[in-house]
Chains A and B, each alone.
Chain A
Amino acid sequence: MNDGLAVALRDVSKQFKAGVTALTGIDLEVQAREFISLIGPSGCGKSTLLRIIGDLIEPSAGSVEVNGKPAHRARLDHDYGIVFQEAVLYDWRTVGKNIALPLELLRWNREKRTARVKELLDLVELEAFADHHPWQLSGGMQQRVAIARALSFDPALLLMDEPFGALDEMTRERLNLELLRIWDASGSTIVFVTHSIPEAVFLSTRVVVMSPRPGRIAGIVEVDLPQPRTAHTREEPRFFELVTDVRERLAAGGVDLEGAA
């Protein structure tokens, strides 16, 4: 929010103990209200980068600022919500209670929690499932609960680590549209990790193309498709041009597109 910068990464690198360089020389600025995708093959460090932004992993060097403060401070201030590839819902809690988990940790009172959970269930269109348990829901529904939970305390930033990676193509495309609607309604900034090129182009305002060994930014593609995106966006010639552009940058970054599906 400060300076309109949601995320500012300066010369970030990460070495793991085994001597593996996961990331090197990462410079990236994400404006507030942007929808940024990080795309690249397995091993390019995109998930590591997301975790560094969330202060779940510490970088070996470089500075990380979220909402104008150090990432650690931002995490303590609940400046972001996170969604993983698996929904990571707690089995023993109902859908409503799962969504309320962060609110309990923030010591919201019961009435405020109940009201907020109802709003969120409306937002992700699961009004009828508040009292169900996670194992009674399909994978797509579970992931919508995870998104609602991440949005529950209205964080300025949403970090998403391949949230739809485990879903079938049709569910995935529907949730893509739903996510854009939520992004628009919530006014948040989204950093989204994916390995699907069409998904990245469809969702994003900018696509950050990464390449592996060591993980680095190979290029950034501005997505100038008009907002709001609709199901027809995927059929526009410009969409295919951008998909091609991203694909070529991946190839230029040393990604074997035949091998790395």
Chain B
Amino acid sequence: MASIAVEQPRQRRAHAAARGARHVGLVIAGLAVFWAFWEAYRWIGIRVGITWPFTVDATNMPHIHDMLAALTKPLQPGGPILLDYEWHWALFTAKEALVGFTLGGVIGFGLAVVLVQSRILRRGLVPYIVVSQTVPILAVAPMVVVGLGTKGVEPWVAVSVIAAYLTFFPVAMNTLRGLLSPDPRSLELMRSYAAGRRAVLWKLRVPASLPFVFSALKISATASVIGAIIGETPASIQDGLGGAIVNFNQYYSTGPERLWATNIVCAVVGLAFFAAVLVAERLVLRRAPENVA
């Protein structure tokens, strides 16, 4: 009866720690390999004269250490260093993205909960939800910014709405799939208890959907950051990473390192969002390893 092996909590914690250390090690090793590859390609490219798919030179492929060094240099003589600016831009963009992510997540989840109630509703609405995502974000963004602007909404809120526009779709689709995932037996069991719609939703459908929801949130986490960066462009917002990218683009030929450095900061913000979702997932989902989506 007690013959099956079950890991003790202490053992499990030790395993988790070892796994964590291995992950960090792998990430560092990955970065080192990427760095080495970049510099090797650059070195060979410049000597051999690689022109395809792009010309390898100091402008197109700055040294990675130059990009990082650019962060420590003042933007204007005597002013604060670039990293100080990046920090503020990143916080600003992260705020837009976080508000958009939350808004999109709530709307996406709510939409899925509504859609799961009726097949007719799904048939009628899902195509329009899909169509909403085929409209290029670059076309929608100015309309949102201008449209909301005339209503007196602050520009950064309009950017959040654009981030939400990119976020809600994967959340809605995956949550819907998760809500529909319980097998017929699980539903029959609920029926045998004469459970109402609400009980079936909260005791069965929603818990069953969580692995799907978290998969979607991982996609949405990075999408919301991209949405915020892109949204800043038509809004002419200068306080965020999007504005900085537009700015540094104009001075690319004289100082490509700054644009690259900003790209790195964008990536770090996206990764931070992704990591936050990952941590939340670990805390919320306690289930068989093979069932983690």
Contacts and interface: CB of A to CB of B under 8 A. Distances in A.
B193 A78 contact: yes
Contacts of B194: 75-76, 78
Most chain A beta-carbon neighbours within 10 Å: one of B188, B189, B203, B286: B189
Nearest to A72: B194
A56 B207 contact: no
Given A90-B207, A91-B288, A91-B291, A136 B193 contact: no
Contact of A56 (B1, B192, B199, B287): B192
B6 interface: yes
Interface stretch (A24-32, A97-105, A182-190): A97-105
B6 A132 contact: yes
B130 to A, nearest CB: 30
A102 B288 contact: no
A128 B188 CA distance: 29
Interface string A70-98: 00000110101110101010111100000
A138 interface: yes
A133 B287 contact: yes
B16 to A, nearest CB: 16
A191 to B, nearest CB: 13
A163 interface: no
A249 to B, nearest CB: 30
Q: Which of A76, A132, A136 has the most CB of B within 10 A?
A: A136
Contacts, number: 63
Contacts of B208: 90, 92
B122 interface: no
A135 B288 contact: yes
B15 interface: no
Nearest to A174: B1
Interface residues of B, number: 25
A132 B287 CA distance: 10
B191 A90 contact: no
Contacts of A82: 188-189, 192
A105 B210 contact: no
A90 B2 contact: no
Interface string B196-211: 0001000110011010
Interface in A90-132: 90-93, 101-102, 104-106, 125, 128, 132
B4 A104 contact: no
B239 to A, nearest CB: 42
Contacts of A90: 186, 203-204, 207-208
A135 B285 CA distance: 14
A166 interface: no
Contacts of B151: none
Given A84-B185, A133-B287, A136-B4, A92 B210 contact: yes
Contacts of A138: 4
Interface string B43-73: 0000000000000000000000000000000
Contacts of A56: 188, 191-192
B83 to A, nearest CB: 43
A105 B203 contact: yes
A137 B4 CA distance: 7
B195 interface: yes
Nearest to B4: A138
B289 to A, nearest CB: 9
Nearest to A132: B6
Interface string B17-54: 00000000000000000000000000000000000000
20 contacts: A51-B188, A56-B188, A56-B192, A75-B192, A78-B193, A84-B185, A88-B183, A90-B207, A91-B288, A92-B208, A92-B210, A101-B203, A104-B203, A105-B193, A105-B199, A106-B193, A125-B1, A132-B6, A133-B288, A137-B4
- 10 pairs of A and B residues whose beta carbons are closest in the complex: A135-B288, A88-B185, A92-B207, A82-B192, A76-B194, A91-B287, A105-B193, A102-B193, A105-B195, A88-B189
